[in-house]
Structure 1
Amino acid sequence: MGFYNKLKWVLGILMVFVIIVSTNLIDRNNFIRVRDSVVTIYEDRLVATDLIFEMSEAVHTKELAIALVDSIYYTRQNKEVNQEIGELISRYESTRLTENESKIFKELKNNLETLKTLEITYIKSKFKQKDLLNQRISELKQNLSELSKIQISEGKRQMSISKKAIDIVELFTHIEIYLLVFLAIIIQIIVMYKPKKK
């Protein structure tokens, strides 16, 4: 085998190697995007949705106690419910928040602090001054509803990111197969081709 033939073989094999390595690097990058998207959907969206649900239940308990003028709730359970809400808030803070979500979450925390102050006033008024308390609870429910909607839209966005990454992987896989077939044909032609001797 002459030098020219060896060079053709080396260049042919090198081209195939470069194409395979480059498509694998692209595939690896896209799989990382899919993995990150799935992790985000679980850790930052599903967990957050569960925390929002638990906070909503706690706020609903408070709303029910106000409607029923349940003095026993305020003397025995309210402190525990406030602690539970505080723990849920801390856990929610550890998730990755979008800019809009941060703003609404900050409003939620402010409304919760105001609610605690209003509850003290409500107890001191012998369970009579409940208008401001009901208003604050309505605002809290609105905050929780908005946060819930953000979880859905962000979950959809993350799913879209992972779908695009998977589509790109599929596209490059097809391109890789076609290129490999094309290169195999070219290599066969180069190997089989024998120039005519004059």
Structure 2
Amino acid sequence: MVFYNKVKWVLGILMVFILIIATNLIDKNNFSRVKDSVVAIYNDRLIAKDLIFKMSNSIQEKELAVVASDSVFFSGRNKEVSQDIQDFIEMFEQTKLTLQEKKIFSAYKTNLEILKNTESDFIQSKFVDKTPLINHISAVKLNLNDLSKIQIVEGKRQMSLSEKAIDSIELFTKIEIYILIFLAILIQIIVIYKPKEN
């Protein structure tokens, strides 16, 4: 009978141990999903949003110089602003881009190249013919605006993934508690139960 009692105890403890390991593995997976989502929100959305903001400021600086026909800007500061934009582009390319983002970002880079050529034409016209340059600046700003909207949509999507993972963690925690209560009762029954001896 002593052996039978030991087997009951070992089986009871083994059941609890297996349950705890299983729920910990599930929780680990869900926590990993939450962590990945938070990292993606920071790296691929917040940083990208900041880069878009900086590129927009640089484009706005160019736009103000065009409106003011600022020859001093185009003879010096313009190269620095263009280099800043190029640096921001390289940093933006390091973020994880969606298919829609890649398409808009490609159009943005194409419009920037056209903008550079139009700036040369503007300088050669002695800062008189502003219309083509303003039109190209508007196209670039529209691309940046579209990229900015994508950051919001993708950020919401990542938050939704995090919320689903957290809900899953809460569900499994509740299930784990109910199973532990059931096992505790079952172990008590096994330990207290004494079969009739013949």
Q: TM-score range by the shorter chain?
A: over 0.9
- For residue 23 of structure 1, what is the aligned residue in structure 2? 23
- For residue 166 of structure 2, what is the aligned residue in structure 1? 166
- Superposed CA offset, 1:73-111 (max 9, x none): 111211110001000111111111111111111111111
Is residue 2:65 matched to residue 1:65?
Answer: yes
For 2:111 and 2:8, how far apart are their aligned partners in 1? Answer: 74
Write out the 4+ residue segments of structure 1 that deviate beyond 6 Å after TM superposition: none
Structure 2 residue ranges without an equivalent (≥5): none
- For residue 95 of structure 2, what is the aligned residue in structure 1? 95
Is residue 2:103 matched to residue 1:108?
Answer: no
Which stretch of structure 1 is more off in the superposition, 129-138 or 44-53?
129-138
- For residue 38 of structure 1, what is the aligned residue in structure 2? 38
Matched residue count: 198
Is residue 2:149 matched to residue 1:149?
Answer: yes
The Cα of 1:129 is off from its aligned counterpart by 2.4
Q: Please give the residue correspondences for 1:175-186 in structure 2 after superposition, counting only pairs within 5 Å.
A: 175-186=175-186
For 1:60 and 1:87, how far apart are their aligned partners in 2? Answer: 17
- One-letter code aligned to 2:177: I
For 1:98 and 1:9, how far apart are their aligned partners in 2? Answer: 55
Question: What is the percent sequence identity of the aligned residues?
Answer: 61
Normalised by the length of structure 2, the TM-score is 0.96
- For residue 140 of structure 2, what is the aligned residue in structure 1? 140
For 1:192 and 1:171, how far apart are their aligned partners in 2? Answer: 32
For 1:79 and 1:163, how far apart are their aligned partners in 2? Answer: 45
The Cα of 1:197 is off from its aligned counterpart by 2.6
SS across alignment from 1:178: helix
For 2:30 and 2:5, how far apart are their aligned partners in 1? Answer: 38
- One-letter code aligned to 1:179: I
Normalised by the length of structure 1, the TM-score is 0.96
Structure 1 residue ranges without an equivalent (≥5): none
For 1:64 and 1:70, how far apart are their aligned partners in 2? Answer: 8
The Cα of 1:196 is off from its aligned counterpart by 2.1
For 2:32 and 2:60, how far apart are their aligned partners in 1? Answer: 41
Aligned-residue RMSD, C-alpha: 1.1
